[in-house]
Amino acid sequence: MAKKKAPDEIKHRPMDPNVMGLRKEVLEQPITQTLEINFMPYAMSVIMSRAIPEIDGFKPSHRKLLYTMYKMGLLTGGRTKSANIVGQTMKLNPHGDAAIYDTMVRLSRGYGALLHPLVDSKGNFGKVYSRDMAWAASRYTEAKLDAICSELFRDIDQDTVDFVPNYDGSLMEPTLLPTTFPNVLVSANQGIAVGMASNICGFNLGEVCQAAIAYMKDPDCDLMSILKAPDFPTGGELLYDGAALSEVYNTGRGSFQVRSKWRYVKEENVIEIYEIPYTATVEAIMDKVTELVKAGKLKEIADMRDETDLSGLKLTIDLKRGSDPDKLMARLFKSTPLQDSFPCNFNILIAGTPKVMGVREILDEWVAWRSEGVRRRTWFVQKKKKDKLHLLKGLKKILLDIDKAIKIIRDTELDAEVIPNLMIGFGIDQIQAEYVADIRLRNINKEYILKRVSEVADLEQEIADLQDILDHPQRVKGIITDELKEVMKKYPSPRRTEIIYEYQTAVETEVVEEAPDYPVHVFLSRQGYLKKITPQSLRMSSEQKYKEGDGAYLRWDAANRDELLVFTDRQQCYKTRLSDFDDAKASVLGDYLPTKLAMDPGENVVWACVTNDYSGHLLFFFENGKCARVELSAYQTQTRRKKLTGAFSDKSPLCAAWHLKEDLEMALISTEGRCMVFHTAVLSPKTTRNTQGVNVMVLKPKYRLEKALPLTDTAIQDVARYRARSIPVAGALLKEQDRGEKQLSLLEGLE
């Protein structure tokens, strides 16, 4: 075979002669061409043929497996070995027996991943709530289709869906399954494609059918009053959040919280957990609880064990004497997978195009698709009846003279001329003539023919009724509604996941161990080392130790329960408690804040303050002469957030900062040597943290603000010379006697 020529843009580069192999050159290919030729077909194949479900609620692997089982007669027959099913499915799905069997396991009743399992299984199929419980090999287990699958294949032989050849062209397989109910919303589905994913939660079958019926009557109906919330086969409690669910219903994206069900057995002093969130596993829960117990954060737990058996899931927690089970569970909900969120991403393939849709839009697409299926079925049935009517009309003409028909057949010498002679003799077409000619001799009697001809009127009436269905979309919707009501009646589905409307969040019920409160002295160095020292320790040794090149920066007299706010050069604020720091001595370097607070790489401390009630204001002085007065309460949050972005303005470098507890006079000094004094009462407080502030000192282009500190901390004597009547002002040149004996520095301008 001739070697394919490389494109013009592909260049040849000699390989290293030391590299073993027959080829002496490699091809350099532009990355754009690699993406177009190699990557894009792969990505499209994964999206369209593997990972994203379609409007019938199935991925191709699910559909191929179920259709194979249907063709094997497993809808009404007995079970067969799973290995047999897997082998037959490989005629449609050539991806290996392990992948096919995994698909069967997920659809099975034993595994329990679906609200309405599609595979009636026998044997060990594992459990969805267990990460480590392995299912038995396919040669040991047996399976058949569950009864509800009759709703998936009811019309499949009536031209309701298209069929395409399989991968080798030896068989035909359906592109979709003609489900009589919105299975896409009933069966939970998850898939990860290339550049996109899909995560669809399951809903209660009865509620979905009611919602579809209500939508067909009124597209603007209130779906949330009918389809109340998602439902999961593992049960649990769904914490109802109207706003979050509304976002999921409208956009197809969002999340909601599901938590475990538990009970307290007072006689044994144990907590029994018997239902867990759909996204959690028993092993993950036990691992996290064990981790917290070892860290000393769950001192109430004496032991925890998995007592799951044939009766169902059960995790048992032994409590220590005097423990409060409600408070313990509140902490477990916050810090373990016993309460978990389900992220929704309703990404579905519609006519070969992935589309993220809300529930209403999904129902709209399903109703349109199902309506087309009902019309195709109606047209198929009508065509069958028309063909039968056509034959009976030919038979009716024969009824006029049966003897003539017999004479024509007897007088015809050649067999090939029987049909043409009947066509000429009675004025019928070839199909009708062949039908008449094939009538058995015993049926050539008047009674038989009259009985058959009497069906003509009924057929004409049925054909007219079917045509009326095709002409009126409302009748089609009526048929879909009747089928949905029949599904609801045949497959009753009580809700498994309980909806909790009144509840407390884990944050509200969190029990925080109070740290002991006592006075401390806190020291922060210029390079970001912090030390918390008790008064007793400080009296014993007050000489502070610093790294070479480092020195004192800030100091506070505080309490152990006070909060520390650390501001960085990236306009971020890190919040922590002084109780999170160990008591230290003056002779140690202390805790390095960038490491202790897990700051971003290269981020440095520029200022900090201590508070216990978030009262007062923060003054931020910038090198461009502006000052921002921000309420300290703007940094207080309801939850214990450890990091706030946009802590102050980034329009100009920070020159100095001050924790203002009461108004006072501040002195500002520029690099030009000018000074101005103003009262902080003229600054209006802001609640926006990153406000740019107001212009206080007017600066010439080549100068900047150098220092800002309280007037009482300066050596200024002639205050009236520098005091501003209004702001902004340029200030007056600083006199020699007002400079003081030593040069003021930025460090002294910061608290």
Report helix, strand or coil for 60: helix
Distance from C-alpha of 544 to C-alpha of 525, rounded to nearest angstrom: 10
Distance from C-alpha of 410 to C-alpha of 220, rounded to nearest angstrom: 70
Cβ atoms of 732 and 722 within 8 Å: the answer is: yes
Handedness of CA 345, 346, 350, 355 (dihedral sign): negative
Taking 3-state DSSP, the helix, strand and coil percentages for the chain, each rounded to the nearest 5, stand at: 35, 25, 40
Indicate the pairing of strand 301-306 with strand 197-200: unpaired
Distance from C-alpha of 558 to C-alpha of 520, rounded to nearest angstrom: 5
Distance from C-alpha of 396 to C-alpha of 648, rounded to nearest angstrom: 95
Cβ atoms of 563 and 522 within 8 Å: the answer is: no
Distance from C-alpha of 469 to C-alpha of 477, rounded to nearest angstrom: 10
Distance from C-alpha of 235 to C-alpha of 502, rounded to nearest angstrom: 18
Q: Is 140 a catalytic residue?
A: yes
Report helix, strand or coil for 165: strand
Dig out the tokens for 505 from the structure: 């969040």
CB crowding 652-668: b at 16 or more within 10 Å, else e: bebbbbbbbeeeebbbb
Cβ atoms of 242 and 95 within 8 Å: the answer is: no
H or E element in which residue 353 lies = strand 353-356
Dig out the tokens for 295 from the structure: 């860290």
In terms of Cα–Cα distance, which of 617, 641, 647 is closest to 629?
617
Cβ atoms of 647 and 628 within 8 Å: the answer is: no
Indicate the pairing of strand 665-670 with strand 626-631: unpaired
In terms of Cα–Cα distance, which of 47, 49, 114, 58 is closest to 355?
47
Distance from C-alpha of 494 to C-alpha of 490, rounded to nearest angstrom: 13
Give the type of residue at 736: E
Give every CB contact of residue 105 below 8 A, 6+ residues apart in sequence: 111, 125, 126, 135
Category of 454 on φ-ψ map: left (φ > 0), alpha (ψ -120 to 50) or beta = alpha
Distance from C-alpha of 290 to C-alpha of 301, rounded to nearest angstrom: 10
DSSP code per residue over 68-88:
HHHHTTTTTS--EEHHHHHHH
Q: Which of 42, 140, 167, 518 is catalytic?
A: 140
Give the max Cα distance, the chain.
144
Distance from C-alpha of 341 to C-alpha of 346, rounded to nearest angstrom: 16
ω into 519 cis (within 30 of 0): no
CB crowding 86-108: b at 16 or more within 10 Å, else e: bebbebbbeeeeeebbebbbbbb
Strand partners, 139: none
Alpha helices in 323-358 (DSSP H): 325-335
3-state secondary structure 537-557: HHHHCCCCCCCCCCCEEEEEE
Q: At what angle do helices 97-107 and 82-89 cross, to 10 degrees?
A: 120
Residue numbers annotated as active site: 140
